């Protein structure tokens, strides 16, 4: 059973077709890059995967659940199993790296927390572990707005990891980073995906980055899936 399956999915906004008859599977533990120019439908596809959008046609199965058939509480439970990483990081700049990572637990704790020490000790230990895995344990007390863009995105990855997700959806996670930071963020995501067996579906408009990072390359153009190939068949020299 794939972690994510789209079957004949169509989506329109105000009568304009954004995705047309898209079928796609993300197997367990795979890193799948979703490429295509701006406006191709990448964000819409990622939002369909966690129920932020529902399809007009076809079906979505995420971790064995159909978001369109989920009650509100079931959808909340499903989303707790799916991490989301955004282009703009989504961190609270005036809070420390550690506090931002701990926020990854709020979906399951369902209580507002004030300050690092208000979180259970076991969670604090896990938060430092996740920061260590993205190479930022030493920066844990630093305010996020003093970190570089690449460091901030790795804090966002650590925050998502605290959720113990089975699937990570990343929407242009490196679009605002320089090339060196982009490679570091993608390598970090790839390593963790391999170590933990987490599937990643990551939109990237730079095809070169997709080819060097992903196991599978999917391309969208004007809402149509035009390519779905293992990266090795596209770069035999790799
Ligand atoms: P990408 O992520 O590949 O840039 P998007 O999925 O963001 O593409 O957008 C695909 C198309 O759908 C664009 O033309 C965009 O303007 C349109 N679109 C996306 N979301 C909405 C929305 N909520 N309402 C209307 N149009 C939308
Ligand atoms: P992204 O950086 O993911 O491409 P956009 O700037 O395209 O994001 O869109 C930002 C938000 O606006 C999203 O929630 C998207 O669904 C919505 N949106 C995008 N295009 C349109 C549109 N033409 N009409 C209404 N909402 C849109």
Q: pLDDT per residue over 170-218, tens digit each?
A: 999 999 999 999 999 999 999 999 999 999 999 999 999 999 999 999 9
Q: In Å, how far from its chain's centre is CA 153?
A: 11
Place 114 in a pLDDT band, splitting at 50, 70 and 90.
confident
| pLDDT > 90: percent of the chain | 88
CA of 122 to the centre of ligand 1 (A): 41
Mean predicted confidence (pLDDT) in 56-69: 98
The minimum-distance atom of ligand 1 relative to the CA of 47 is: 6
Average predicted confidence (pLDDT) for the chain: 94
Query: Is ipTM over 0.90?
Result: no
Ligand 1 atom nearest the C-alpha of 19 is 10
- Do the beta carbons of residue 202 and residue 170 sit within 8 Å? yes
2-22 b/e with 16+ CB inside 10 Å = b? Answer: bbbbbeebebeeeeebbbbeb
Burial class for 122, CB neighbours closer than 10 Å (0-12, 13-18, 19+): exposed
How many angstroms separate the CA atoms of 92 and 97, rounded? 9
What is the rounded CA–CA span in Å between residue 134 and residue 158?
7
pLDDT digits (tens, 9 = 90+) for 63-77: 999 999 999 999 999
Pocket of ligand 1 (CB under 6 A): 13-14, 18, 36, 38-44
Closest CA to 8 of 47, 48, 36, 42: 48
For 160, the enclosing helix (H) or strand (E) is helix 149-162
Write the residue with the smallest CA distance to atom 25 of ligand 2: 13
Model pLDDT for residues 121-130, shown as the tens digit of each residue: 999 999 999 9
């Amino acid at each position: 059973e794939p972690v994510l399956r789209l079957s004949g999915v169509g989506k329109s906004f105000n009568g304009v077709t954004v995705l047309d008859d898209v079928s796609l599977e993300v197997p367990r533990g795979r890193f799948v890059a979703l490429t295509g120019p701006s406006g191709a439908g990448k964000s819409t596809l990622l939002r369909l995967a966690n129920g932020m959008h529902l399809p007009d046609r076809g079906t979505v199965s995420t971790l064995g659940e159909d978001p369109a058939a989920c009650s509100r509480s079931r959808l909340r439970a499903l989303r707790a199993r799916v991490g989301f990483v955004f282009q703009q990081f989504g961190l609270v700049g005036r809070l420390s790296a550690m506090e931002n990572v701990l926020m990854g637990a709020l979906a399951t704790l369902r209580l507002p927390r004030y300050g690092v020490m208000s979180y259970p000790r076991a969670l604090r230990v896990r938060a430092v572990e996740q920061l260590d895995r993205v190479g930022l344990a030493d920066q844990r007390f630093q305010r996020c707005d003093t970190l570089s863009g690449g460091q901030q995105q790795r804090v966002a990855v650590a925050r998502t990891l605290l959720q113990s997700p089975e699937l990570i959806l990343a929407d242009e996670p490196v679009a605002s980073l320089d090339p060196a930071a982009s490679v570091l963020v993608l390598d970090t995501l790839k390593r963790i995906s391999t170590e933990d067996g987490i599937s990643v579906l990551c939109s990237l408009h730079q095809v070169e980055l997709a080819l060097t990072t992903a196991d599978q390359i999917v391309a969208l153009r004007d809402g149509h899936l035009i390519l779905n190939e293992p990266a090795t068949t596209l770069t035999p020299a790799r």
